[in-house]
Structures are given as structure tokens and as C-alpha cells.
Amino acid sequence: MSASLVAAAARQRATRGTARVACAADRPHAPAERRAIRRALRAWFTRHARDLPWRRTHDPYRVWLSEVMLQQTQVRTVVPYYERFLAAFPSVEVLAEAPEERVLKLWEGLGYYSRARNLRRAAKQLVERHAGRFPTTADAWKALPGVGRYTAAAIASIVSGERTAVLDGNVKRVLSRLCLVWARIDEKTTLDRLWELADELVDPEQPGDFNQAMMELGARVCTPRRPDCDACPLARWCRARAAGEAERLPVRSARRVVPAVELLTAAVRCRGRWLLARRPATGLLAGLWGWPSVEGGDLDGAGAMEVSLRERFGVRTRLGAMLGTIEHVFTHRRWVLRVYEGRTDGARRKPPSDADWRWVTSNEMQALPLARVDQKVWELVRERLGD
């Protein structure tokens, strides 16, 4: 086949795909169908909803905390963090007064640490500007640090009964199958349309329960792989199921290759104490403590590391044996840390009171907020060098 015929065939397939998307995604269910969907989903949620601690209350502080923790994090992971966090910070006033380091420590291991910093910033804003009173609308919630459209809608619908829809990963998947949306769900035009479909479908009488039910359905029945269509309360109205296409939806763009960043990391011990540094106030893992590191894949970076240790921390160190390699994957990058023992001359400088570094014992290290990647380094160091 000639190149021109191949191109023409490709254009024809693209045109058919565009027509199919428009036909499916631009045609919401009829009003009677939407009412039936709401009833069926409400009945299913009443019978099958998980008993989660934040579902036993309409307290805005607790609902807000749960929604922030649940961002890109599974429910089973969140529950113990939620309970520990509330035990330490039972009210917005207590959270507002808490040192950032303590907040980060309670968040340790949950990831996406900007959520914890924004939570504390928002708490201070609520106490200082609003006398501890919480917003009552989604628009007002969005004015707080770290609260976006989805989180604001979830809180306002659950706490205040505002008729506003949510669109998280689970709801996107449910809607793309229910409405047979073939467009890539990570493209802005598709997301805008999914928000419209969600707004049209949300239950005006019980929006909070409806939104939670949609998320629950996506998490437990309308799952990414092998959706359990036979158990789905919405199967009767699901266009993807009727077309036999449920497992192929939703459609996403091809994943980008996650770039690797190579780091040389030093485990420096001097007279029974380990050298740790606090990361900058902005950027990845901001405000957390970790091991001194410089970019560089191997001992080619040794000179830069030794200069950094001498100039920043006042410690003369040469890198000794390599202890091992740690890999840690973030959302948009992958770190490869080559961990070396740092051998000092036995002298150490005392950090000033406002320093972003310190010498700590093994026990003192347990009180500092460490990112998971730095905990992995500590596990390696203990295995190779002991406490």
C-alpha cells in the first residue's frame, strides 16, 4: 500500500474514533436514567459501604483531614495515619500551633509531604483569619492552601450538603465506562467533559453520599483491571458493558519514561553520632531530614561530596567503602543512591542553633521526620555498619 493510502486510512480511523467519542461522551444519560442510577447507587452504598472512621462524622476538620490524606493514597494505608494524626492534633487549633517538624514526623511514610505542610498552613490561616471557623462552600474551601477542586467539592458535599460533584481517579474510571468515553482521560478537554458528566449525575438530595458511593464503586467493583460487572449496581446503564468494552476503558496516554537521578550519599558517623541535613523549605521532600547527598553516580562525585561536607558541615571526610545502592521511585523521577561510608578525622563542628543540619544519635534520629528513601538508607547503614 502506498504512503498516501496508508495516511488516508489513518485519517479515516481517527475520524471514526472522534465520532465515537463525541457520540458517547457528549450524550449524558436521560433524566429518568440518572434518577434510577442515583437510587441504585444509593441502595448499593447503604449495603456495602466500608466502615471507615471519617464516615462516622460530618465534622469538617476530620473530613478535611481524611480527604487530604486520601489524595493519591489507598484507604488501607490512610486509616492508621488518620487515627494517629487525630490523636496528636485533635483540633484545627492544636494543628495550627504544632511545629512543622512534628507534623511531618506524623506524616512520615505517607508520601506527598506538601500535603502535610499545606494542611498546617491552612490550619494557621483558619485560626488566625477566621477564628477557627471552617468554610461552608466548595469555593471557600478552595481558598485554603492545598485544597483543589476535587478536595473542596468532596468536603463541601459531605459536610455542608452542597450539590457539587467530585472527580478523582475512581470516579473518572466509573464515568468513562458508564458513558463510554473513548477520549484519553488525562487530556484537559476530556477532564472538562468528565466534570460536566459528574455534575449532571450527582444526586441533588444526597450529594455527599453519592460522591462517596461513586468513589467506593470505583475502588471495589469498577476496578482498573477485570471490573466485576456482574456485581455492579449500575451495570444496567453502563454503555461500556453493553458494548463489551469495559476492560479497555479508560484510555490514557502512554506513560512517560521516569528519568533517573543518580546521587552519591554519605553515611558519616563521628563519636557515636550521625550527620543529617534538613532539605530546603521548597521542592521535593521539602523540610524533611536526610543523609548528605550530591548528584553523581559513583566516586566521580567524591570530590564534590568531600568539599560539601567540609564547607557546609565543617567535617573533614573521605569516602570509604560502598555500602550499597538504594532505588526509590517518585511520581516523576527515580532516584538511584549509591551509599558510601564517610570516614572522618574524629573532629566535628557543633552546629549553630538555627542550622539546617545536626549530629544525632540513633535514638534521636527516630524523632526526626525522614522520607522513606532516607529510611531505606538508614536500614542499609544499620545492616552494614550497625547503630
| Active site (catalytic) residues | 67
What is the Cα gyration radius of the chain? 26
Half-sphere exposure of 66 (CA within 13 A, CB side): 21
Residue-by-residue DSSP string for 293-311: EEE-SSGGGHHHHHHHHHH
Residue-by-residue DSSP string for 99-136: -HHHHHHHHTTS--THHHHHHHHHHHHHHHHHTTPPP-
334-344 and 273-278: which strand pairing?
A: unpaired
Measure Cα distances from 324 to 272, 299, 327, 335, 380 in Å.
Answer: 21, 13, 10, 14, 7
260-270 and 334-344: which strand pairing?
A: parallel
Q: Residue 291 and residue 270: Cα distance in Å, rounded?
A: 14
Quick one: which of 266, 315, 307, 316 has its CA closest to 290?
266
Residues 6+ apart with CB under 8 A from 119: 65, 68, 95, 103, 146
Residues 6+ apart with CB under 8 A from 229: 235, 238, 241, 246
The residue whose grid cell reads 543523609 is 291
